[in-house]
A and B are shown apart, each in its own frame.
Chain A
């Protein structure tokens, strides 16, 4: 078992994974619960075309962001997996 100062590639991989998931879930929370529900009345004072902004987040924006979040996760995880495989091959 490697120490805190000298983590194994697997530990680095897991830590980065958790950071990535944590970051993405923060955005997930902000667009849906935040912009879509908690701050909806404030945001509805602003317009995007015919959409009151809070309403748009609740009925369109949050879903678009969800799709992008999963896409970003897949791309980042592919890169993390690749990095882990390469460092394993080197060692």
Chain B
């Protein structure tokens, strides 16, 4: 069976499984819809949380990032796992004991104010939409790459699946599909990881193979990491294991980004909401443990996969003649994720530090302008260079295409080349000559995971499994985020603010409609991604870190914290963080460099400063404002008790 046949089989089977789970777990109550009836056992909640948390980015992109950032990629490993320690020790048990359904619900009740609730609703919805657009896009990309349907149809299929199980089963349906999705994604990630570790180091455990000697290739008996460092030195790259090198990050920025990611993780509403679904406080604590254990399986394997892939990539490709390059190299070149520009015209692939050309690859096709047509024979769908490689229109490759390419016909050149045009091209060439590119190879980071099975010569069904795993990772995260949007709209906005007399049946209808509406908006964003999707991911973490985390922690650990303090803290944290990110990402992207940053902290890490600001403002304003009413203080005291049955007065909203 072909790769595509296997992929249809695996993806079809996994989708059938998710839909049958949804039908088996239909719900009729808001408690079932929002928090799965609060009966999910800790270990299963751990699996669901792991799938909820590990997104398309964790599954597809993280190992690739690590592969290209070396040590500096540790910000993602520590940042995205360390947050669970904060979550387990500082938030999850208390939020569960407080006994509410959503994060804005806690904020609104603890800070006895609908203003605080509104700010929280806005943040929850903004963070979730930011995130979910990327997931839907991920679903579309996997479909288009493995099943040869276009991205738009892929997004629509993904939307339909999520729509069915989110509106039918609510949190209950999502929980049990996430449990299934965890197993699909972890098996899909570990099978290639284990096989490659075994091939390269003889160890079946990637975490061990990572630190072992290589058994094959040009340098057997040398430690894998030492070998990669050696090759890096030879080719002029900074050492892979060396600190603050490959990823171009300073120590202060690494500290700030790691903290922002940790605190942001702990403050992300779709993660927090999972801890409301368990039976009691003890189960909330243990599910944080299970969640991190299950996440850790993937997160500790990913850096090993990154190094295996790095070694494999350099060994098989660097200094190889293009015609001798392996098949996978040409396949991924065809799908545009690998590009080679033969700057020195020697037919060999020179892999060196730095970019191979400016920006993303822009492949030449016949439909493009005159210059391209010169080098493309009629009737050929894309343009091939001297050695058969795909040609690029990117600035650096263009002049050489015109001047040196033996494939270009002189007659065509003469026919189209007016003196003005020649002068313009010469000027362009002169301006580009200032920048010399030593590197010839462009590799999209995503192929590290997607192409790994092919690079390691694994059977077709493994490739298909990876596709199903990537879909599971994207769909499970999308569903969790949609739940946050649905409950924020129906419960916090509808029931608590706009229409308090709503019946349960009515609220459930609101929740289903909100979930359905959110799926459609998310799908629209996936098909027409706003150009700034990549930039806004920093937003999601920055906002979660600077808005939710400090006021939830203070709300639990300081009875005295007042609503004025909480609102002022949230607003100052958000405004500061958002302004900093907007300034450097959108208003003045050219000055987005270390010398212009505050204390050398990049927009990715600024959420940690916003968090500190939020803490300081909340505590200062609290000092000068009246303490919370007695019933709020009693509730805070109650969530600290070893065992508590029921909270009093939590449902009474004071009249304003």
Which residues of A are interface residues toward B (Cβ below 8 A)?
A: 9-10, 13-14, 17, 21, 24-25, 28, 32-33, 36-38, 40-41, 44, 48-52, 54-56, 58-60, 62-64, 66-67, 69-71, 73-74, 77-78, 80-81, 84-85, 88
- B640, A50: Cβ atoms under 8 Å? no
**Which B residues are CB-close (under 8 A) to A13?**
640-642
Q: Taking beta carbons and an 8 Å cutoff, which residues of B are in contact with A? A: 66, 71, 73-74, 77-78, 81-82, 84-85, 88-90, 93, 207, 210-213, 223-226, 241-243, 251, 254-255, 258-259, 262, 282, 285-286, 288-289, 292-293, 296, 299-300, 303, 640-643
Given known A-B contacts A58-B77, A59-B303, A77-B285, A84 and B258 have beta carbons under 8 A apart: no
Determine how close the nearest CB of chain B comes to the CB of A34; give it in whole angstroms: 10
A48 to chain B, nearest CB (A): 7
Given the complex, which residues of A lie within 8 Å of B299, measured CB to CB?
63
**A69 nearest in chain B by CB position:** B85
Which residue on chain A has the smallest CB distance to residue B638?
A10
13 A-B pairs in the complex with CB atoms less than 8 angstroms apart: A10-B640, A36-B78, A37-B255, A49-B223, A50-B211, A50-B223, A55-B71, A58-B78, A60-B303, A70-B89, A73-B89, A77-B285, A85-B643
Question: Which residues of chain A have C-beta atoms less than 8 A from B224's C-beta?
Answer: 50
In the docked arrangement, what's the CA distance between A60 and B303, Å?
8
Which of A14, A56, A58 has the largest number of chain B CB atoms within 10 A? Answer: A58
Which residues of B are found within 8 Å of A66, using beta-carbon distances? 81-82, 84-85, 292, 296
Q: Is there contact, CB below 8 Å, between B82 and A54? A: no
Contacts of B73 in A (CB 8 A): 59
Q: CA of A79 to CA of B533 in the docked complex: distance in angstroms? A: 46
Is B89 in contact with A24, judged by CB distance below 8 angstroms? yes
- Among residues of A, the one whose C-beta sits closest to the C-beta of B557 is A18
The 8 closest A-B pairs by CB, nearest first: A50-B223, A84-B642, A58-B74, A49-B211, A50-B211, A55-B241, A59-B303, A70-B289
The listed residue (B258, B288, B296) touching A64 by CB distance below 8 A is B296
Chain A residue with the shortest CB-CB distance to B208: A49
**Residue contact B211 to A24, C-beta cutoff 8 Å:** no
Are the C-beta atoms of A70 and B88 separated by less than 8 Å?
yes
| In the bound complex, CA of A48 to CA of B207 (Å) | 13
A58 near B71 with CB under 8 A, answer yes
In the bound complex, do residue B212 and residue A50 qualify as a contact, i.e. CB atoms below 8 Å apart? Answer: yes
Residues in chain B near residue A78, CB distance under 8 A: 282
Interface of B is mostly: helix
Selected from B90, B254, B303, the residue in CB contact (under 8 A) with A21 is B90
Instruction: Tell me the complex Cα distance, A21–B263, Å.
Output: 16
Q: How far is the CA of A66 from the CA of B79 in the complex (A)?
A: 11
* Contact assessment for A60 and B84 in the assembled complex, using a CB-CB cutoff below 8 Å: no
Residues in B neighbouring A81, C-beta threshold 8 A: 282, 642-643
| Assembly CA distance A38 to B285 (angstroms) | 30
Which residues of the partner chain A approach B88 to less than 8 Å between Cβ atoms? 70, 73-74
Give every chain A residue within 8 A of B254 (Cβ-Cβ).
Answer: 37
State the CA gap A84–B226 with chains docked (Å): 53
Beta-carbon contact of B74 and A59 below 8 Å: yes
Q: Which residues of B contact A52 (CB under 8 A)?
A: 225, 241
- Whether A32 lies near B82 (C-beta < 8 A) is yes
A44 contacts B223, CB within 8 Å? no
Cα distance A14–B224 in the bound complex, in angstroms? 48
Closest A residue by C-beta to B74: A58
Are the C-beta atoms of A71 and B289 separated by less than 8 Å? yes
Please name 11 further chain A to chain B contacts, defined as beta carbons within 8 Å, in addition to the given A33-B255, A36-B258, sorted by A numbering.
A32-B258, A36-B78, A37-B74, A44-B243, A52-B241, A59-B73, A63-B78, A63-B81, A63-B300, A74-B285, A81-B642
| B243/A54 in contact, CB under 8 A | yes
Q: For A84, give its contact among B207, B286, B643 (CB under 8 Å).
A: B643
Docked pose: A88 CA to B642 CA in angstroms: 10
Bound CA span A85–B281, Å: 14
CB distance from A33 to the nearest CB of B (A): 6
A67 touches B289 (CB 8 A): yes
Q: Which residues of A contact B90 (CB under 8 A)?
A: 21
Once the chains bind, are A80 and B288 in contact (CB under 8 Å)?
no
A residues in contact with B641, CB < 8 Å? 10, 13
In the bound complex, how far is the Cα of B242 from the Cα of A12, in angstroms?
A: 47
Rounded to whole angstroms, the CA-CA distance of A28 and B224 in the bound complex is 29
Smallest Cβ-Cβ distance to A28: which chain B residue: B85
Q: Tell which of A28, A59, A81 has the most Cβ of chain B within 10 Å.
A: A59
Q: Which of A10, A25, A41 contacts B243 (CB 8 A)?
A: A41
In the docked arrangement, what's the CA distance between A64 and B224, Å? 21
